[in-house]
Homo-oligomer: A and B are copies of this chain.
Amino acid sequence: MRLVRERKPLVHQITNYVVMNETANATLALGALPVMAHAREEVAEMARLAGALVLNIGTLSPHWVDAMLIAGKSANEAGVPVVLDPVGAGATTYRTETARRILDEVDVAVLRGNAGEVATLVGVEAEVRGVESIAAADDAAAIARVAATTLGVVASVTGPVDQVSDGERAAAIANGDPLLAAVTGTGCMSSAIMGCFLAVAEPFEAAVAALAAFGVAGEDAAREAKGPGSFHVGLYDALAALDPQSLDERVRIT
């Protein structure tokens, strides 16, 4: 958190149309610098300049998939860490295959999805409706562990309690608020925030720190919210107001 604010890393995001404004504002509120660029003509150059690259498949089309692969490979060559958010994997064949293709061709440092999305990518059956994972994962922690081992990533499975695993270490983060599920793109925002932390810390610690910070901000925003609209606005205020010191005390990690 302190390092993010001190270094203000540039976080290159190739993300979906629905949440671009939101993930950019969450990145800024936390203290990093967002940049959105998706043209095949410039993504390799932009990814090399960044502190981290976030790939999010929420509104795919072929040119964007190409751009994600080009950017991901360029990031890999330059040693820039990559976050993948496999939005809607399991909902359509195109999304599942694209998420798998990115995992095959790009060295992904952190994978962040809901239980259904991550389960799909490791071949476990899960009910996915659109981009929502409905079935309460009986064992999100197990899905995270299997994904980490099978896919060779730090896997984060988010939900009421977020689970992070690198195959050996595991953490469960119990911060957050139910209103986070009432606003579109909060999952995408948490992936963007992972990008911010990943630019200044190693993947497991970055994933845990990002989910903790985002969860605490959600708790702060919920306190004065009258519904999803005011909660959404309060979330940016809360991210900007996060205090690294009190954050450490409020985080509920096991």
Residues of A within 8 A of B (CB): 10, 12, 16-22, 24-25, 28-29, 33-42, 45-46, 49-50, 58-63, 88, 91-95, 129-132, 182-185, 225-230, 232-238, 240-241
Q: How far is the CB of A27 from chain B (nearest CB, A)?
A: 8
- Kindly list chain B residues whose C-beta atoms are within 8 Å of the C-beta of A39: 59-62, 94
Q: How far is the CB of A188 from chain B (nearest CB, A)?
A: 10
Tell me if A's interface is mostly helix, strand, loop or mixed. Answer: mixed
Query: Which of B18, B29, B33, B92 is close to A228, meaning CB atoms less than 8 Å apart?
Result: B29
Determine how many copies of this chain the complex contains. Answer: 3
- Kindly list chain B residues whose C-beta atoms are within 8 Å of the C-beta of A24: 18, 184-185
Q: How far is the CA of A159 from the CA of B22 in the complex (A)?
A: 23
A36 and B21 within 8 A (CB): no
Instruction: Sample 20 A-B pairs with CB under 8 A, ordered by A number.
Output: A18-B21, A18-B36, A21-B22, A28-B183, A29-B228, A35-B130, A36-B58, A39-B61, A39-B62, A41-B60, A41-B62, A46-B92, A49-B129, A182-B240, A227-B236, A229-B233, A229-B234, A230-B237, A232-B236, A233-B233
Closest 9 pairs (CB-CB, A-B)? A227-B237, A35-B130, A229-B236, A42-B94, A24-B184, A42-B92, A229-B233, A41-B94, A229-B237
- Interface-central residue, A58, A62, A130, by most chain B CB under 10 Å: A130
Q: How far is the CA of A191 from the CA of B155 in the complex (A)?
A: 38
B91 and A229 within 8 A (CB): no
- Kindly list chain B residues whose C-beta atoms are within 8 Å of the C-beta of A25: 183-184, 228-229, 232
A45 and B182 within 8 A (CB): no
- Kindly list chain B residues whose C-beta atoms are within 8 Å of the C-beta of A184: 21, 24-25, 28, 34
A59 and B88 within 8 A (CB): no
Q: How far is the CA of A39 from the CA of B183 in the complex (A)?
A: 24
- Kindly list chain B residues whose C-beta atoms are within 8 Å of the C-beta of A19: 21
Q: How far is the CB of A78 from chain B (nearest CB, A)?
A: 14
- Kindly list chain B residues whose C-beta atoms are within 8 Å of the C-beta of A230: 233-234, 237
Q: How far is the CB of A22 from chain B (nearest CB, A)?
A: 6
Q: How far is the CA of A129 from the CA of B40 in the complex (A)?
A: 19
Q: How far is the CB of A7 from chain B (nearest CB, A)?
A: 11
- Kindly list chain B residues whose C-beta atoms are within 8 Å of the C-beta of A238: 227, 229
Q: How far is the CA of A28 from the CA of B63 in the complex (A)?
A: 29
Query: Which of B38, B185, B227 is close to A61, meaning CB atoms less than 8 Å apart?
Result: B38
